[in-house]
Amino acid sequence: MLKRSDMTPAVDLTAEPGAGPARARRPVYVDLLPPCQNACPAGEDIQGWLALAQAGSDRAAWEHLIADNPLPATHGRVCYHPCETACNRNELDAAVSIHAVERFLGDRAAEQGWTFPPALAPSGRRVLVVGAGPSGLSCAYHLARLGHAVEIHEAGPVAGGMLHFGIPAYRLPRAELAREIARIEDFGVRIVLNRKVDDLPGERDAGRFDAVFVAIGAGLSHHVEIPARDAARVLDAVSLLRDVSAGERPLLGRRVVVYGGGNTAMDAARTARRLGASEALIVYRRDRAHMPAHGFEADEALAEGVQIKWLTTIKEIAGDALTVERMTIGADGRPQPTGEIETLSADAVVLALGQDSDSGFLRRVPGVAVHPDGTVAVGADMMTGAAGVFAGGDMIPAQRSVTVAVGHGKRAARHIDAWLRGAAHAEAEPPPLATFAMLHLPVFSDADPAAQRETPPAERIGFTEVTAGLAPAEARREAQRCLSCGVCFECDNCYAACPEDAIVKLGPGNRYRYDYAKCTGCAVCYEQCPCHAIEMIAEPVEG
C-alpha cells in the first residue's frame, strides 16, 4: 500500500510524457480510505462488504462484515449511520443506504441460520467481561475469535444492556436482537445473567481470569434540581423505557411533558404516545440547531404527533402545573433566560437529561481513576490504571452511541489479546482519504436510492417495528450504487484504455499489475479510473 509521502498528485499530467528510461512518472495501484469507512465508529470495511453484496455473494458479504461487527441486524436498525453522512455519493445525488444493506445482511443471516466462521485455536487464557451491552458483547465476540475463553457477567435479567432496555421495540424488535446475542453465545461466549459485580478483584480471582473488560454502560439517569410541590408524576426516561421493554405499561395520563432534547427524549415522547398519551410535548432549553438529538429522530417524533417546545426550560412543578421560562441563544451558543414565564399542564413529566455510569465499585480498585460523571480514565490501549483491567463503551469519555460502543469492544479485544501475549497492539496508520474531487466518474442515470418502506404514522399503534427491510433485489441494487472510492473494483477501465497494452489482468479478485517495460507514463489509466485507485508518482531514481 502506498503511503501519503510516496504520492505526488501535483505531477503535471498535461506535460509531454517520456518513454522508457526518459519516463518522468509512472502509474501505481493504490488503496485509499473510503470516507464511509473513515466515519464508521465500528471500523467496518464498508466498501469491502458492499462489493460482495453487489455481486450477490450475501454470505461472503456478511462474513466480511462480522469480522468487524457481530451485530449487523441490530446496527442496520439503530446506528445513526455517520458513514452515510460522509458518503461521497452525497455530492452526486444521495448517499448509499449503507445501513439498509447492513440490516439486510443481518436479517439474511438469521433467516438462513448462518454461523460465525471458526475461531482460532484455544489460547488457554480467560477473560471476564462485565456488562452484556453492545461494547461487552463486541469485546467478548472478538476475544472468542482470537481463541480466548470469555465469560460475561451481566447484572440484569437479559443480555443486551441499553440495546434491550433503552431502545424501543418499534426501532429494534427484541427477537432480532436476541438472535444475534444467541449467535455470540453459540460461538462459545458464556453469559451469566443476574450477576452484578461489586468486587472486581475478587470476581477476577475467583474465576481465575487473566484480564477484565468493564463495559457497564451509562444506565443511571442524570437528574437536575427542579422545585416540586405536590407534583404530577415525575419519572426519568431511562426508567420509563426500561419498564416498557420489560413488558410493563406505566400509566402516564393524557398529557405528558418530556424534558430534554436528546435521542432518549424523542424515544420517551414517542413511547408516551404509544402508551396512550393524546398529548406528548418535548420541552428543550435550546433551539433545534443546537439539540443533541439527530435530525431524523426529531422528524419521526413530529410525524407521530409529538410536539416540541424549543427554547424553554422548566422552573417549577406544582401539581399538574409546570412553570416554564422562555430562553434565547446567546452569542456563545448557550441558552440565556429571558424572564418570560409561562404555565403548562401535564399529568406526567419525564426527565430525559442524560445518563451517568454506575461505576462506583471501581473506585475501590487500586489504580482505576473514576471521573465525577462515572466515566473511567483509560490509556490509548484502553487499559485503566490497574494492570489487566480495560474499559470501554459509555463508561469512558467519548461520544455515546451503540456503534461507538461496539468499536470500543473490538479495539479493546485487540489490546487485551496483545497484553495477554506480552506484546502491544499497534493501530495501523490509515491510508489517505478518497475525496469526491479525486474521483473520475462517468455520467450516472440510475441514481435513486432504494427506499425502506415505513408504516404510516397514523397506523403506528403499539411497538411493532416501523421500518421494513429491503428485498434481495433492492439490497443488491443499493449496494451497486457504491462508488468504491479509492479501492479498485476491477472495472477494466484502465485495462481497456491503455494504448500500450502495459496492464496485465491477474484474474478475478486479484486486480492488475503494470508492465513498466511497455508503460510510457501517459496517465490515461489514471484518468479513466473512476474510483481513484491509481496514482501517478515520480519515476524512481536508479542507482
Residue 4 in this model has a pLDDT that exceeds 50: no
Q: Is position 543 within any domain?
A: no
Which residue, of 479, 502, 528, is where some domain finishes? 479
Structurally, how many domains does the chain consist of?
Answer: 4
Same domain flag for 195 and 283:
no
Q: Is position 426 within any domain?
A: no
Q: What is the pLDDT of residue 386?
A: 97
Q: Work out whether the CA dihedral 349, 355, 361, 364 comes out positive or negative.
A: negative
Confidence of residue 204 (pLDDT cuts 50, 70, 90): very high
DSSP letter string, 71-105: -HHHHHHH---HHHHH-GGGGTSS---HHHHHHHH
Interval 171-179 mean pLDDT = 96
Q: What is the pLDDT of residue 444?
A: 58
Q: What is the pLDDT of residue 258?
A: 96
Q: How far apart are CA 84 and CA 90, in angstroms?
A: 8
Q: How far apart are CA 45 and CA 66, in angstroms?
A: 10
Q: What are phi and psi for residue 220, nearest 5 degrees? A: -100, 130
Same domain flag for 16 and 103:
no
Same domain flag for 395 and 500:
no
Same domain flag for 362 and 345:
no
Confidence of residue 3 (pLDDT cuts 50, 70, 90): very low
Q: Is position 470 within any domain?
A: yes
Q: What is the pLDDT of residue 373?
A: 82
Q: Is position 444 within any domain?
A: yes
Cβ atoms of 101 and 90 closer than 8 Å: no
Domain CATH for 145: 3.50.50.60
Q: Which amino acid is at 72?
A: P
Q: What is the pLDDT of residue 22?
A: 67
Q: Which domain holds residue 11?
A: 4-31+488-538
Q: What is the pLDDT of residue 139?
A: 98
Q: Is position 336 within any domain?
A: yes
Q: How far apart are CA 125 and CA 250, in angstroms?
A: 45
Confidence of residue 391 (pLDDT cuts 50, 70, 90): very high
Same domain flag for 274 and 331:
yes
What is the per-residue pLDDT across 32-81, written as a single tens digit (0 to 9) for each? 999 999 999 999 999 999 999 999 999 999 999 999 999 999 999 999 99
Q: How far apart are CA 474 and CA 468, in angstroms?
A: 12
Q: What is the pLDDT of residue 475?
A: 96
Interval 129-145 mean pLDDT = 98
Which residue, of 429, 459, 479, is where some domain finishes? 479
Q: Which amino acid is at 204?
A: R
Residue 358 in this model has a pLDDT that exceeds 90: no
User: Which residues touch 321 (CB under 8 Å, ≥6 apart)?
Assistant: 343, 344, 345
CA 237 vs CA 197, 258, 282, 487: distances in Å? 25, 8, 12, 44
User: Which residues touch 277 (CB under 8 Å, ≥6 apart)?
Assistant: 252, 253, 254, 255, 256
CA 453 vs CA 170, 450, 513: distances in Å? 14, 9, 44
Output the 3-class SS for 197-238.
CCCHHHHHHHCCCCEEEECCCCCEECCCCCCEECCCEEEEHH
Domain CATH for 17: 3.30.70.3270
Same domain flag for 497 and 471:
no
Percent of the chain with pLDDT over 70: 94
Which residue, of 302, 323, 350, is where some domain finishes? 350
Q: Give the count of beta carbons closer than 10 Å to the beta carbon of residue 421.
A: 12
Q: Cell 468486587, residue?
A: 199
What is the per-residue pLDDT across 418-454, written as a single tens digit (0 to 9) for each? 999 999 998 889 999 999 999 998 865 566 788 899 8
What is the per-residue pLDDT across 81-125, written as a single tens digit (0 to 9) for each? 999 999 999 998 899 999 999 999 999 999 999 999 999 999 999
What is the per-residue pLDDT across 311-344, written as a single tens digit (0 to 9) for each? 999 999 888 899 999 999 988 888 999 999 999 9
Give strand pairing partners of 337.
327
Interval 216-236 mean pLDDT = 77
Q: What are phi and psi for residue 481, nearest 5 degrees? A: -80, -10
Cell of 167: 431502545
Q: How far apart are CA 86 and CA 447, in angstroms?
A: 17
Residue 286 in this model has a pLDDT that exceeds 80: yes
Same domain flag for 89 and 177:
no
Same domain flag for 147 and 45:
no
In terms of phi and psi (left: phi > 0; alpha: psi -120 to 50; beta: otherwise), the region of 311 is left
Give strand pairing partners of 308.
282
Q: Is position 514 within any domain?
A: yes
Same domain flag for 398 and 497:
no
Q: In this structure, what DSSP letter does residue 125 have?
A: -
Q: Is position 529 within any domain?
A: yes
Residue 2 in this model has a pLDDT that exceeds 90: no
CA angle 254, 256, 259 (to 5 degrees): 180
Q: Is position 429 within any domain?
A: no
Interval 266-293 mean pLDDT = 94
- Residue among 22, 33, 23, 29 nearest 7 (CA): 29
Same domain flag for 139 and 207:
yes
Same domain flag for 379 and 393:
yes
Confidence of residue 15 (pLDDT cuts 50, 70, 90): very low
Q: How far apart are CA 400 and CA 363, in angstroms?
A: 22
Cell of 456: 404510516
Q: What is the pLDDT of residue 220?
A: 72
Q: What is the pLDDT of residue 232?
A: 67
Q: What is the pLDDT of residue 339?
A: 93
Cβ atoms of 210 and 389 closer than 8 Å: no
Same domain flag for 209 and 102:
no
